[in-house]
Structure formats: structure tokens, C-alpha cells
Amino acid sequence: MAKLVWYINDKHNREGDFMGIYLNPGNKGFWMSIRSEIYVDKTGLIAYTNKCMNTEQKYICVSRPRRFGKSMALKMLAAYYSCGCDSRELFTGLKIESDDTFEEYLNQYDVIYLNMQQFLIRAKGQDMIEYLERAVIEELREIYGDFFPRQTVVLATALEKIYVKADKQFVFLIDEWDCVMRERQKTEALQKQYLDFMRDLLKDQPYVALAYMTGILPVKKYGQHSALNMFREYSMTSQKNFEEYTGFTEDEVKELCERYDMDFVEASCWYDGYMFKKYKHVYNPKSVVEAMSCLDFSDYWTSTETYEALKIYIDMDFDGLRTDIVQMLGGGRIRVNTRSFQNDMQSFHTKDDVLTLLIHLGYLAYDAETEEVHIPNKEIIGEFENAMSVGGWPEVMRVLRSSEKLLEDTLGGNADSVAQGLDKAHTEVASVLTYNDENSLGCAISLAYYSARKDYRLIREFPTGKGFADVVFLPLPHTRKPALVVELKYDKNVVSALRQIKERHYVQALDGYTGEILLVGINYDRDNKNKPHSCVIERVIK
């Protein structure tokens, strides 16, 4: 495969087809992707972009967290559309090859590939826009220099001339489009200049056959400078047609686990949790690839960035934000209004704005149907713990550190010690999280059992067919520990909690599990100031 691709590229260069850095960058990037040890076929995305070609939907903005395959998708599109190379062999056997539009657009367009991050870095003391236009025009002049005046310095002007005189359209692939908004947060003049440039370059321009840009944030809202409104946006709050291509799907991860003899349940605990309307289980692709390659489940995505970035946002002093974070650490979900977010990293007016940013950064998962957020998986939970451990959350950290002892007492059947441990945990978090009902009690209990996540899959409100068990701890396959079914009561008694577990057959609902199960009934009595929690534990075999 490698020799064939390079022979084809050399042949086209001899015939005069141009391959550059920005203009027709070729197919080497995609070639490296498909020859990697792990490649998951996402070429179905091309069928959708083909449908958008030269239509009102030709402007596509895809925003996702870092390391979620955005650049890889751009390299794939560059290999497919660029007329500077022949990529037919690269797509042999992949999904797009069987699509009706495959032949129609294969290597038929000049591609302009812009990595805005690189331009921002390389411009240094220069004007970024002038640097970008000068670099791209220089390459355009190699093959289209006869169609625009030599003194041309505006990229849009050069492209207009080429379109009129040579009838040439371009596919624009723009990576890290939002880096100016993320890395120059306080330079509003530069941001507006940049948006004006993007608008002039792309909006209503007949030379644009397709514009596909990616970033972490959706398009910045700037009043009249919201003029990139021609883009249809696909973000972490609504991926629409791009759900399947946002990360790895459940079926794709199952296949990888089978290939590498890795446990699928544990992979789900570590990397699942992102969800959309059609695809309810979307996995972090970077982490899955690393786990399979290394044959070890660990925190791969979060290790590529310091936890201090997360700490800045969760420490923000918005009313109710700390309570929401604690509830989500306990497995709870929080209602959020994502519509007020200004799509930048500094215009925060409410806690909802902070939570929405954390959705786009990948630290929270969003359920569009319920408009709720939650911490998606074990990897991200660990990042929250790291961020809180360096100060500002002492009460919560004391609860987390005590959770190992609470789990040991539970597994040992020591109900009195469990009740005492819950009393202590409640005292610690009372300033942040108040018991109002069984749901808030459930969040606090789940937080108190935080260390159990190492060996268990925690499920809040586990469906049983006859209601929901409040908290279920399913042991991971390698642990050889008993399952836990926890029923909570508020101002009632532990006997009724245990009776409900039995009468509603919660144990029978644990499909596929056989072995020892601990039935744990917990009651919180708000009138008992000295000993508010009571507990009873019973062992059964399934």
C-alpha cells in the first residue's frame, strides 16, 4: 500500500499537478491513519459531505473536545477531495467506496487546508491574517498566477479572480478554527478581525464548493459579528448527522475489545458516557485506541492536559455550581440551560455557562432529551478528583479519602460502622450538599462510596422492571467481589428498605450476574441529630 501511494503521487507531480502545504496537501496524512495498528472506518462521513457539496448546506462547523478525531477527519477529506493526488487505492474496501457518490467527487477539487493553530503560532509578532494570506497566495500563484494580479494581497480577491477566469471552485478544510478565541481570550479586536476575515473569505462566495471547519467551541456569538451564521453547527450539545463520527460507537468498541481480548464492561466504565439522540453510547476515541494498544485501562485522554484547566472552571463562584459538581461526583445529573453560552472561554454569567463550556471541553456529557449533564466516565471522574485535591474542596476530599474504609465495612457486613461512616460523610459535605429527598441522599451515598468505582460499575436508579433500585454496584469481572444493591429511605426505616429490595425482585434484575450479593438498606432520619443514619446488610446468593 505505501509503495503504491508514493508511486502515484510522484507520477502526478511529474505531470504538473500541484501538491502543497495549504493547497492540495495530498493524502499522506490519511495514508498514515489507515496504516496505523488501529483504524476505525469513519469514511461514511464523506457521503454526507458529498450531499452538501454546492448546496445551501455546504458550510459545516464541527466542534468536539481535543483528541476526538477532528484532524483525522480533515486529513481523510483532504485525501478524498484533493485533485493533487490519486487516492482510489486508499479508500478500497472502506465504507465510502460503496456509496453512489464515491466516483463523482474523488480527487476532483482543489483543496485549501488551513490549520489556524499553526498560523497563530508562526505569525508571532506579525499580523496573523496577513501572514496567512501571504502564505496561501504564494502557493496559489504556483498554478493560478496568471489569473490574478501579482500585487494581490487579499486571499478572497485572488480566489474570486481564479473562479471568474478559470471556473475553479475550492474545498476549504479548516482545523482549529477557534484557536484565536481560546488562546487570545482578552484580545477582542483580534477576534473580531479574524471573524471578519473568515466571513469575507467564505460567506456567499461562489468559489466555495464546501467549507468544513473544526474546533472545540461552536461559532462565537458577537452581535453583528455572528455573521458566520451560514454554518450549520454540529457540537457536543447537538451533533445531528455527525453522531456516529463524534467518537467510537458501542459496536466499534466491542469489536476492538474482542480483537485485543480486553474486557468490554471495563472499557465502558473507563471511556463511555457521551450520548446523543440516536447513539446513546459514544466512547472517547483517543483513550480507547491507547487502552487497546497498551492492553491496559488507564487515563490517557486526561493525561494530555493539566488538570489545572478544569480547576479554573469548577472553582468559579457561581451560586449552586459547587453543589452541582458534588452531585455529579455522586453519580447525579443536573439540569442545564446551554442556550445562554456565548461560545467563548471568558463570558460567564451563570453556572449554566460554565457547565456548558465543560460539555464542549469533554469534561461533562449532555443528554439533549432531558437537558441534563453528568460526568461521563471513570477517566473524567479522576480528573475532577485531581482538580479538587489541590485546594478549595477539603470537605469533599475528606469524604473521598474515607470511602475506602466505608466500602470495607460494607463488604464485611459491619452495618453499625457503615452508619457511623455515613454520619461522618454527611457532616463533611453538609455545607455543600444538603439532604432534601432520596435523590440528594443517593448522590451523597454514592459520593461516600467513591473508592468503589475502582472495582465496581456504579449505576444510579438501576431499572428492575418493578421500579428502580437506588444504587447498584456491579463488580468488574477481574475483582471477584460481591455485587451491592443499595436501597435508600428518607425519614422511614431500614427494614422497609430491605423489604422493598426483596418484594420488587431487584436481585433478579441483575441479568448475567451470578454470585454473592449484599442487600444494603440505608435510612436517613433528619430528626435524629446524634445518629441520623441507620443501616442493615444482608447476604444472598444468586
Average pLDDT over residues 154-173: 97
Of the candidates 82, 79, 72, 81, the residue with the CA atom closest to the CA atom of residue 24: 82
Under the banding of pLDDT at 50, 70 and 90, the label for residue 165 is very high
Alpha-carbon gap, residue 502 to 5, rounded angstroms: 65
Of the candidates 306, 304, 275, the residue with the CA atom closest to the CA atom of residue 287: 304
At residue 323, does pLDDT exceed 50? yes
Per-residue confidence (pLDDT) for residue 7, from 0 to 100: 33
Check if the beta carbon of residue 492 is closer than 8 Å to that of residue 437: no
Alpha-carbon gap, residue 340 to 342, rounded angstroms: 6
At residue 135, does pLDDT exceed 70? yes
Per-residue confidence (pLDDT) for residue 462, from 0 to 100: 83
Cα–Cα distances in angstroms (integers) from residue 15 to residues 11, 84, 103, 139, 142, in the given order: 7, 11, 22, 18, 14
What average pLDDT does the chain have?
Answer: 90
Under the banding of pLDDT at 50, 70 and 90, the label for residue 226 is low
pLDDT above 70 as % of the chain: 94
Residue range 142-152, pLDDT digits in tens: 999 999 999 99
Q: What is the pTM of this model?
A: 0.90
**Nearest 5°: CA angle at 33, between 28 and 39?**
155
Per-residue confidence (pLDDT) for residue 8, from 0 to 100: 38
Alpha-carbon gap, residue 492 to 523, rounded angstroms: 6
Residue range 370-406, pLDDT digits in tens: 999 999 999 999 999 999 988 789 999 999 999 999 9
| Lowest pLDDT segment from 180-194, 252-266, 449-463 | 180-194
Report all structural domains of the chain as residue ranges with CATH numbers, in order of start: 2-234 (3.40.50), 244-392 (no CATH), 394-541 (3.40.1350)
Check if the beta carbon of residue 412 is closer than 8 Å to that of residue 520: no
Ramachandran assignment for 461, one of left (phi > 0), alpha (psi -120 to 50 degrees), beta (any other)? left
pLDDT above 90 as % of the chain: 70
Per-residue confidence (pLDDT) for residue 12, from 0 to 100: 38
| Lowest pLDDT segment from 144-153, 302-311, 491-500 | 302-311
Alpha-carbon gap, residue 447 to 327, rounded angstroms: 8
At residue 13, does pLDDT exceed 50? no
Helix axis angle for 264-271 and 250-260, nearest 10°, is 130
